[in-house]
Amino acid sequence: MQKNRWIQRFENLEKAIQNFDDTIKCIKQDSLNKIYTMALIQAFEIVFELAWKTMKDYLEFNGIITDTPRETIKEAFSKNIITEGQIWIEMMEARNKTSHTYREEYAKSLCDDILNIYSIQINNLKEFFKGKINE
């Protein structure tokens, strides 16, 4: 039996979240420096991309077609896949900024948000999908 696309994508997301969480553990043990800042932002970029695409695939599996990250986030919020739609929109905007600019003060601010806000949302999404796989 072939796995649903969203389950395949979720398996990749879980691996990326493990790397993301490992980066966070290193930061909590050693403190944030330039190398950890770059690693955390890169891990966040990867996890965010896989997260919205997993949501998109899951929505499609359930008959809802979306095309963009913003549209996917709004639908995921309306279907209770995520509970903090505005934070996910902020995550999307932060992700978009990381691709086009690098300023040290922005990077530090982003890392604070990743550590204190975004990581919680990402792990909540992981738990949502783990629950759906086990249904």
Residue 17 has pLDDT above 70, yes or no: yes
Whether 56 and 92 have beta carbons less than 8 Å apart is answered as no
State the pTM of this model.
Answer: 0.92
34: number of Cβ within 10 Å:
10
What digits encode the pLDDT tens for the residues 43-81? 999 999 999 999 999 999 999 999 999 999 999 999 999
H helices of the chain, where?
5-30, 34-61, 69-78, 85-100, 104-113, 119-133
Domains of the chain in sequence order: 5-133 (1.20.120.330)
Query: Per-residue pLDDT for 14 more than 70?
Result: yes
Alpha-carbon distance of 70 to 87, in angstroms, equals 12
Euclidean distance between CA atoms 72 and 24, whole angstroms: 27
